[in-house]
Every structure is written in structure tokens, then in C-alpha cells.
A and B are shown apart, each in its own frame.
Chain A
Amino acid sequence: MSDQLDFIIRNLPNLIFGFPGQRPGGLLLTLVLAVVGLGLGFLLALPIGTARVARSATLRRAAQVYIWVFRSVPLILLLLIVHNLFSAGRLWLETSSFVSALISLVLYSSAYQAGVVASGLRAVPEALIDDARTLGAGRAKAWQTVRFPFAVRIMGPAFTNQAITLFKDTSVVVVLGVADLTTTARIALGSDIENAPFWVATYLTVGALYFLVATAIAQVGNRRFGSKTVARTGFVDRLDSTATR
């Protein structure tokens, strides 16, 4: 038992911050991947989600195809495709697999978030926009002052869900060898048969770390967006479920 504890304590700094000399890694790198993926993904999702509810049928169609493609291909496959496209010939560069992972996560999360943005925009009552127009606001002004702020408020809980999902999905970057939490655990255990007894404890620790952060994101999201009122009606689930359409 004590050697179990020993192994975990010895490796905990590596799991959280990465191996010395390769920092940031571990959970810290996982967070970097999730935050950048979510942030840049959101910036990309805004125009795509807006296009999804645009007047032009071509724009709507194009956005739909984008969302459909990036939501249908497993992230693990998307990672390899992006890496293959962007790094032909310089596969050994560590930075390159990190960048490939980031690009993949941005594309992947942008498709999910675009669906959320589109559903949020659709959910703004038409009457509200009509009111703004009646009061003399132009189309752009009504969009900027009424539709968009209203939509963002509705999207809040769904974004919390996306943040949690993306945070957990980053574990898949292990396929490119990016030194995130999952990869660090694999390296710490290695293929050494002597480490076999530590597998359960190590993966329980890794699972607990993911769990703690995911739960923390949920807590912050709930406090920020008050999902208690919106989520209970099943509306968040509907936002998620209708997002592909």
C-alpha cells in the first residue's frame, strides 16, 4: 500500500505540471488545450453559427455541412488527419503535434459551439426583434443590441457543457503524443512490468483529476449562468440535441 502511495506522490507533480524540463505538461497542458480550443473555437463558431441561421440558403447549407462533418468524424481521427495535412515531412517536431492538436480541437469544438450559437439565435423570440425594429433600430442594431445578447444568455449553460466535454475530450491528443495528462500517465507507467501494480492507482488518480476539474467547471458555469432555471426545463439538452440540425 505504501509503495502505491509512494508512486502516486512521486508522480503527482508530473501529472499536474508535466515532467521536469517538459513543462507545461500534464493537467496544465490539458487545461491550455481546453481553454485555447474552447476560446478560438468560439470565435470560429460565431460566424458559422450565424451563417447557420442566415437568410441565404447557401450560407445555411455551408454551415450545416461544416457542423455535420466536424461533429461526425471522431476527434481521434480528426487529430491524425490534421496532423497529416499540416506536418507532412516534419513529424518528429513536438511543437508540431501540439499545434496540430490545437487546430483539431478548435475545429472540433467550433462545430459543436456553432450548433449552440445557431440554436441560441433561433431561440430569441421574433417579437423581441420586432419590438426593437419598431422602436427604430436597423437590422444590424437590432442584432447587436437585442438578438445577440439575448442569445448569448440563453447559450450559457450549453457552453458550460461544451467546456466540460472539450476538457475531457482533450485526453484523446495522446494519439499524437502531446504530453497532456493522459499521455503523462502513460509515460509515467511506461511498459515496465515492475510498474504493473501501480496502474489502478495511477488511473484512479488521473480520473480523479479530470473529475475534479470537470466538476469545478460545472460549478463555475452553474453559478455564472444559473443553469438551475434553464437546465431544469431540459432546454440545454434541447439546445445540444437540435444543434446538428
Chain B
Amino acid sequence: MFDWLTREITNDLLRGVWLTVALTIVTAISATIAGVAVGALRMSSRGVGRRLAGAYIEVFRNVPALIQIIFWAFAVPNLFNPATRKALLFDNAVMDVARDLTGIPIPYYGLAGALALTLNTSAYIAELFRAGASSIPTAQVDAVRTLGATRSTAFRTLVLPAGLRAAFPAMSTRLVHNMKNTALVSFVAVPELFHELQASIQSTFRATEFLLLGAVIYLVLAAALSALLGWVDRRLHRGRLRHQGHRPSPGTRERVAA
């Protein structure tokens, strides 16, 4: 029944799964860091920074992830002349290390894909973090400032943790979305799971089997990532009332939790 799943193909698929997981984790971390930074900048009082952050959010959110991936991977290298391009992006010691480390034949494409996913997801996270942080009661911020905290201390001790806590459920949804978006880097020759599925179909002509197997694997990955993020969310809330200072409308909390 599973004769289509030869050892060789299984190994390829497992390598694909590994790359998908690695891409998911790397881009989730980089997007969260970049997103919080941009979100914080968006709330800053400096006009230029705020406007730059706003442009970052609008542009990287409103252009499809696929277009961004193709842009960084396939379009940008054309800006350089062939010799520079080769030395800078494709054929150098750093790329050799990356190739050995990740197993991506052309590591630059993997890097470009990861960059595109990071920019796209961080733009969403920036906006979610900003929304989360603006749900912090102003009285709390005033209290911290009155106690003599500088703006940066207030940010580090209050706005960052409380904002993250408030935004985390929505950020989790976006990070799961980001996991699914890693499938898009298959377009730029990065051999992650979706790419390996397509390759297996081409070599065996067993489309239905591999497509359904792929669906099952992505379901498992999504469930695992959701569980992991749920665990992080609970840790963020340890010893605190849930969603403090974040009450959309009367009765909603109970009903949403129901």
C-alpha cells in the first residue's frame, strides 16, 4: 500500500520537513524581533522613525509574500553585473558554509526566501504588537514614569512584556500563517517540504498519495506549532490575570473563551 514511499523518497521528504521546520523557526524568531522593533518605532514620538515604520508595515504587509520572495531571490541578483553577482551572492565562503549547513543547493535563494518571509511576517507582527501595547492602560504607563523610570525603562519593563502578552494570541495566528508561507519558497528552488513533494510526484506520478501525505504533514506541523505557541502564551501569563487591561467589550471575553 505504501510502496510509493521508497526509502529514498522518505529521506528526501524528511529533509524537506527538516528544512520547513528550520525555516519556520528561524523566520518566526527574526520576524518577532524585527516586528517588535518596528512596532515600537511606530509608537515612538520621533516623526521620521514613526513614518518609516509605518511605511515598512504598509509595504511589506500589502505585497503578497510570493512576490516578495521572487523579488529578493530572482530579481535582486540582476542588479549586479554577472561577476559581482557570482562573488557576492552565489559563490563565496559564506554560501559554502550555508550550503553544508542547510543542504540548500543555492543558499542565496534560501536566504532571500527567509528575508522575504521575515519582512512580510514582521510587518504584521509590528502592527499586532502596536495594537497590543496600546491596550495597556495609560494610567499604568504614567505610574511607571512617575516612579522615575526613563522612557526606555518604561518600555523594557512595562510596554514590551505587557504588549507582547496582549498581542501574543494574534501573533501566534500570524506565525502559523508564516509556517504555511514557507511552502512558497519552493518557487525559488529551496528544497523544503512542498518542493520535495512536487519532486516526488514528478518522479513517481503518484500525485494523490504525496499530496495527501503532504497535507497530513502540514496539519501535524501546524498543530505542533500551535501547541508550542500556546505553551509560550501560558508562560507569558504565568501568575497574571489573563488579558489584563485588554477588554474589547463586555461579555466578549467569556464568550470567546467558551
Contacts of A214 in B (CB 8 A): 62-63
| Binary A-proximity of B57-93 (CB < 8 A = 1, otherwise 0) | 0110011111110110011101100000000000000
Q: Interface with A: B7-15, B41-49, B106-114, B250-258, which one?
A: B250-258
The distance in angstroms between the C-alpha atoms of A235 and B194, with both chains bound, is 34
Contacts of B258 in A (CB 8 A): 122
Q: How far is the CB of B137 from chain A (nearest CB, A)?
A: 12
Q: Is the interface of B mostly helix, strand, loop or mixed?
A: helix
Contacts of A80 in B (CB 8 A): 207, 211
A234 B132 Cβ-Cβ under 8 A: yes
Asked if A76 is an interface residue, CB under 8 A from chain B, the answer is yes
B219 A72 Cβ-Cβ under 8 A: yes
A237 B128 Cβ-Cβ under 8 A: yes
Contacts of B63 in A (CB 8 A): 168, 207, 210-211, 214
A235 B75 Cβ-Cβ under 8 A: no
Q: How far is the CB of A143 from chain B (nearest CB, A)?
A: 16
B255 A122 Cβ-Cβ under 8 A: yes
B251 A203 Cβ-Cβ under 8 A: no
Q: Which of A77, A172, A200 has a CB less than 8 Å from the CB of B214?
A: A77
Asked if B169 is an interface residue, CB under 8 A from chain A, the answer is yes
Asked if A69 is an interface residue, CB under 8 A from chain B, the answer is yes
Asked if A101 is an interface residue, CB under 8 A from chain B, the answer is no
> How many residues of chain B get a CB closer than 8 Å to chain A's CBs?
56
Asked if A84 is an interface residue, CB under 8 A from chain B, the answer is yes
B131 A171 Cβ-Cβ under 8 A: no
Asked if A9 is an interface residue, CB under 8 A from chain B, the answer is no
A234 B166 Cβ-Cβ under 8 A: yes
Q: Which of B76, B218, B226, B255 has a CB less than 8 Å from the CB of A74?
A: B218
> How many residues of chain A get a CB closer than 8 Å to chain B's CBs?
54
A123 B249 Cβ-Cβ under 8 A: yes
The distance in angstroms between the C-alpha atoms of A214 and B120, with both chains bound, is 14
Q: Which of B68, B173, B208, B250 has a CB less than 8 Å from the CB of A241?
A: B173
Interface residues of A in 78-127 (CB under 8 A from B): 78, 80-81, 84-85, 119, 122-123, 125-127
Name, among B70, B132, B246, the residue most crowded by chain A CB atoms within 10 Å (CB to CB). Answer: B70
Q: Which of B131, B167, B211 has a CB less than 8 Å from the CB of A77?
A: B211
A77 B66 Cβ-Cβ under 8 A: no
Known contacts A74-B180, A168-B64, A238-B170; decide if A207 and B218 are in contact (CB<8 Å).
no
Asked if A206 is an interface residue, CB under 8 A from chain B, the answer is yes
A238 B212 Cβ-Cβ under 8 A: no
Asked if B102 is an interface residue, CB under 8 A from chain A, the answer is no
B170 A240 Cβ-Cβ under 8 A: yes
A77 B215 Cβ-Cβ under 8 A: yes
A84 B62 Cβ-Cβ under 8 A: no
Interface residues of A in 168-213 (CB under 8 A from B): 168-169, 171-172, 174, 182, 196-197, 199-200, 202-204, 206-207, 210-211
Asked if A164 is an interface residue, CB under 8 A from chain B, the answer is yes
A241 B67 Cβ-Cβ under 8 A: no
Q: List 7 A-B contacts (CB under 8 A).
A: A72-B180, A74-B194, A122-B256, A123-B256, A182-B66, A234-B166, A234-B167
Closest 10 CB pairs of A and B: A72-B222, A199-B75, A241-B170, A237-B170, A214-B62, A74-B180, A235-B248, A168-B64, A171-B64, A74-B183
